[in-house]
Amino acid sequence: MDDLKLGIMGSGQLGWMMIQEGRKLPVKFGVMDSGEKGSAAAICDFYMGPNDYRKFVDECDFVTYEFENVRKDGLEYADEQDKLRPGLLPVNLKKDRSLEKNYFVSGGFPTAPFTVAETTSEARRSCRDFGKSVIKYTSGGYDGKGQIYVRNEDDIEKVEIHGKCIVEELIDFDCEISVIGSRDSSGKIVMHTPSFNYNQSGILAYNYAPFPNRKAMEITSRLLSRLEYVGVIGVEFFLKGDHVMINEFAPRVHNTGHHTLSGSSISQFEQHVRTVLDLPVPDANLIRPSGIVNIIGRGLDSDLLNRLLSNSGTRVYWYGKNDARRKRKMGHVNLLAETVDELREKISSTMELVYPDGLENYL
């Protein structure tokens, strides 16, 4: 057989890991990017700029994206050619948080209560109704950027919005978890065990699996089917007692699924590559408790690298970015352990190694 050709729109670390994990298969990888060339561009088999989107799509058997804000013309052309996976609907829902939220509501998926506000007075009124709330612009912003937390009357008086927003009741949730799952073109769904996620200032600091939750898996399965999705999805949930609320989904491989790079029978990256190319994914089993610590806003020195790699079963993924700005994800560390307790201890000591001055100084 000839090699399959997969086109990836976007060239960041998610595409970089997709190529690394998919390269063992008879697949050639193309990358198309509209801005600065990222990590994936350096290791792909062919690269094209955004103006060549027709040529790029024509060259590939299937096209996927590793970033939601890729150029619309390329996505639409790939969709017209029946090559875009997971498709236009999931990425379009992510262009406007109110579309995503309303999609959840119309499908009967449990979410935190919210309203849509277009003016400051509408926003303030909703904040008063909810008591405590978080305001998010409907477009732009990820990793917690552009979110306003409103906890009291003083905060409400300071609220000023400049564009369409979601005002969401601020749930004092117990924790955040996520599910990484895939659906193939025949409708078969394969899910990893949920993970526990620890975020700070809206950015994932660490996570680990297993953290079983049947309701979250059922919701993910139903969402994949309703979207007629093909590929890997990441779905975030808030837990409050027995209550499971969907927070948002990412129409792609997801930072909370990096733990599948070790300890799982298949990584989310290979799972995505296989699924979008119509290759089988029989199942996704956790073999050993597995977690990650993100390396954010700092470089790597050889002392840190040596200390990290001295820990049994540890892998370091360094994305090769030059500029270690605050809040920027520079790499991550995969950790394995025999028990969840041992894994939590490893995560805690790794956090101390990576953030000797406290995580808040890197965000």
Comparing CA positions, the residue from 278, 272, 321, 274 lying closest to residue 300 is: 321
CA distance 70 to 57: 14
Instruction: Work out whether 283 is an interface residue with a second copy (CB under 8 A).
Output: yes
Side chain identity, residue 265 = S
CA distance 294 to 256: 10
Instruction: Work out whether 170 is an interface residue with a second copy (CB under 8 A).
Output: no
> 235 CB contacts (<8 Å, ≥6 apart)?
178, 179, 181, 216, 219, 220, 223, 246, 248, 249, 250
* Span of 46-54, 63-71, 179-187, 310-318 interacting with a second copy by CB under 8 A: 310-318
Instruction: Work out whether 340 is an interface residue with a second copy (CB under 8 A).
Output: no
Other C-beta atoms closer than 10 Å to the C-beta of 2 total 7
Instruction: Work out whether 280 is an interface residue with a second copy (CB under 8 A).
Output: yes
Compute the least distance from the CB of residue 170 to a second copy, in Å.
Answer: 38
Q: Which is nearer to a second copy, 10 or 22 (CB)?
A: 22
Binding test (CB under 8 A) with a second copy, winner from 49, 187, 320, 356? 320
* Span of 70-78, 121-129, 223-231, 308-316 interacting with a second copy by CB under 8 A: 308-316
Side chain identity, residue 110 = P
Instruction: Work out whether 300 is an interface residue with a second copy (CB under 8 A).
Output: yes
Instruction: Work out whether 105 is an interface residue with a second copy (CB under 8 A).
Output: no
Binding test (CB under 8 A) with a second copy, winner from 73, 243, 287, 325? 287
Instruction: Work out whether 62 is an interface residue with a second copy (CB under 8 A).
Output: no
As a dihedral over the C-alpha atoms of residue 324, residue 327, residue 328, residue 333, rounded to 10 degrees, the angle is 100
Rounded to 10°, the helix 268-276/13-22 angle is: 80
Binding test (CB under 8 A) with a second copy, winner from 70, 281, 347, 354? 281
Interface with a second copy: number of residues (CB under 8 A): 40
Do 355 and 308 form a contact (C-beta atoms < 8 A)? no
Instruction: Work out whether 162 is an interface residue with a second copy (CB under 8 A).
Output: no
CA distance 61 to 154: 55
Interactions with a second copy, residue window 177-236 (CB under 8 A): none
Q: Which is nearer to a second copy, 60 or 75 (CB)?
A: 60
Compute the least distance from the CB of residue 143 to a second copy, in Å.
Answer: 22
Positions at the binding site for ATP? 97, 136, 141-147, 168-171, 176, 247-248
Please tell me whether residue 209 adopts helix, strand or coil conformation. strand
- Residue 110 Cα distances to 90, 92, 236, angstroms: 18, 21, 12
Binding test (CB under 8 A) with a second copy, winner from 301, 323, 357, 360? 301
Instruction: Work out whether 96 is an interface residue with a second copy (CB under 8 A).
Output: no
Question: Which stretches within 177-313 are classed as H helix?
Answer: 214-226, 268-276, 302-309
Compute the least distance from the CB of residue 145 to a second copy, in Å.
Answer: 27
Which residues of the chain form contacts with a second copy (CB under 8 A)?
1, 3, 20, 23-26, 42-43, 45, 265-266, 270, 274, 279-283, 285, 287-288, 299-302, 305-306, 309-318, 320, 336
